[in-house]
Structure 1
Amino acid sequence: MSSDEDEVVLFYNYIRRRRRRTRKQFWIYPYIETNVNRRLFIAAQELSEDEAKFQTFYRMRKQTLQELVEIVSPLIQRQNTDMRESVSAEERIMITLR
């Protein structure tokens, strides 16, 4: 084999390997899937135990937040699917406030 043929064979093998290599795409990252209950709102759960800390963090009382959730949740609530769990209306509001 000549050097030109060697280069062609090497190039062909490179292309075949590159095509075989597929990138994995995740609907949910494995870290999040294994830690479904450990969302961003662990801080909110901990803050809800102490009224003063909650009010400092979100700049409103828990009662006011609950009233806001009752008013706005029918407009922003999403439906859970088989593929993933939706973000609750309360979590959406807390993200917006922070």
Structure 2
Amino acid sequence: MRPGLERAVALAAEVRASGLATTLVMHEHKRLGRDLAALADQLRATGIGLEFLSGELQDGHGPSGVVFTVPAALSGMERAYIRDRTLEGHE
């Protein structure tokens, strides 16, 4: 997980531990790739919500079920594809 995201999750956990309802809000899910499913599981386990402002997971979908899992998996695949193509271009 990226250092900035780790700090945001840690801060959200601190706020949640104080008893306040907490939701981590992100612009969109695409840059998270494979980290998305793990992040969602981690947040769900600690009672922290996850919301996206744009993209396929925008608004009312919680981080569970097919509506969340399929786009998350596709994001991971897309990120790997882009990485592979970038490496090929460098060669």
Structure with bigger RCO (C-alpha 8 Å, 6+ apart): 2
Give me the TM-score of the superposition, normalised by structure 1: 0.24
TM-score (norm 2): 0.25
